[in-house]
Amino acid sequence: MAFYDLDFLEKTFIHYAKQNTRSYEENHDQVPSSPNQVKMGKELSEQLKEIGLEAYYNEETGFTIGHLKKNVVDQVTPIGFFSHIDTADFNAENIRPQVHRNYDGKRVVLDEKEGIYLDPKEFPALATCKGETLITSDGHTLLGTDDKAGIVGILGMLKYLTEHPEVEHGDVYIGFGPDEEIGYGGQRFDPKDFPGVELAYTLENGRPGDFEYETFNATEVQIHIRGTVVHPGEAYGLMVNATTLMNEFLNGLPKDQVPENSKGHDGYFMVVNTSSNVDHADISLIIRDFDWDKFTQKEQLVRDLVEELNKKYGNDRFKLKMRRQYENIYNVIRDKPYVVNLALDAYRKLGIKPNIQTFRGGTDGNFITQKGIPTPNLFNGGGNYHGRYEYATVEQIDKLAEVLTTIVEEHLSQTRHGRDNDPLKKYW
């Protein structure tokens, strides 16, 4: 049985999915990085007002902020929810959502002429969508499920709460942000827009029951190598080939700690880009690990390797820049189990089996957690993110709206009757 008005969820998702809100790394100094994100952010601000919230668009951060006032006299801390407006680096021009009602579980034709199909043999998770209203692209663009499904789930929850004033709740804050896909949105979020908010959730990628409160610790590394160019006929004892030095550095990295050999809680080094000639060379790489000690050891390995090579070839041959990108949400949440237990209690109340996973990436929640608001990640009701095979179902977005409503209700209930702070719970 549907929790909310499925017609509203479908039409609203399709409306926003059609909008090209792709973000662009090369424009990251702009806030946000593309003008259509501003347009959609301001439209969302107006829609939040129509629903009954206080809302505004923050020009400095690019966040649309909404506030649903509490309807109880209890002293209950505000709770927050986040979804992002931008989409990933895949074609987002002329998006044409396709609706497949009562999906039969078989192969979906996206473009017969071009031979583009959404096939459950290739994407087994489609089996969970059988009988539901499946929405896809036409196979030539992404759909925007990440994260417009999350946005619509939030809107569904808000409409339910405002249309059912008998449902008691505390203050609820909403943040629709820009540029998550290029890693800048959450960094720019201003906690002053969420006054008093104790905990929050991002709604990123996944099916009902998915839950992620562990993410990578992440560092970006840039290395510039200076060579010495001499005519090869006179190079003996004089030439220093930057390409050779670059290869020596790369050979010093652990061969087995790479993404293609990593899963679960495994960390890795990933060489993202290299360029070189005799005169100079440049290396871009990233470091990822869930475990803080192993993460800092990986950082130190790079420092030690650069220091060793500078001693071997002379100081300043290697110039190293390291930038911490984000930290594991679990570093904070392990001491604040309530934010996890609250979501798990909501899942169990609705009969949803929790599927706790490590998130082998980063979300806005990493940055928001570091700003003082513990923010793990739930789900948004879709799949195959960031490409032509993206999909969502109306029923799973509806389930998201129900989960969010239940979390809000449970937060008030547990504030009244005692919080679930047990760190030894079955699913912890």
Instruction: Please report where in the chains the tokens 């550095």 appear, as a residue.
Output: 249
Six token digits for residue 395 = 């029923």
Considering only CA atoms, which of 174, 134, 187 is closest in space to residue 364?
Answer: 187
Instruction: Please report where in the chains the tokens 């979020």 appear, as a residue.
Output: 189
User: At a CB cut-off of 8 Å and minimum separation 6, what does 271 contact?
Assistant: 250, 253, 283, 284, 285
Catalogue the active-site residues.
86, 180
CA 143 to chain centre: 16
Reported as half-sphere exposure (CB side, CA atoms, 13 A), residue 28 has a value of: 12
Instruction: Please report where in the chains the tokens 């029951």 appear, as a residue.
Output: 209
Six token digits for residue 195 = 């006054």
Binding site members for Zn(2+) = 84, 146, 181, 386
Reported as half-sphere exposure (CB side, CA atoms, 13 A), residue 291 has a value of: 9
The answer to whether 362 and 182 have CB atoms below 8 angstroms apart is no
Backbone angles phi, psi at 331, to 5 degrees: -55, -30
| Residue type at position 56 | Y
- Going by their DSSP bridges, the two strands 79-84 and 172-177 should be labelled as parallel
The answer to whether 175 and 189 have CB atoms below 8 angstroms apart is yes
| Per-position DSSP letters for 342-389, written without gaps between them | HHHHHHHHTTPPPEEEEESS--HHHHHHHTT----B---SEESTTSTT
Considering only CA atoms, which of 289, 261, 311 is closest in space to residue 362?
Answer: 289
Q: CA-to-CA distance for 44 and 206, rounded, in angstroms?
A: 23
Q: CA-to-CA distance for 81 and 58, rounded, in angstroms?
A: 16
* Torsional sign, CA 91, 64, 180, 381: negative
- Going by their DSSP bridges, the two strands 210-215 and 355-359 should be labelled as parallel
Name the CA dihedral angle for 55, 56, 62, 67, rounded to a multiple of 10 degrees: -30
Six token digits for residue 105 = 């579980």
CB atoms closer than 10 angstroms to residue 242: 22
- Going by their DSSP bridges, the two strands 268-276 and 318-326 should be labelled as unpaired
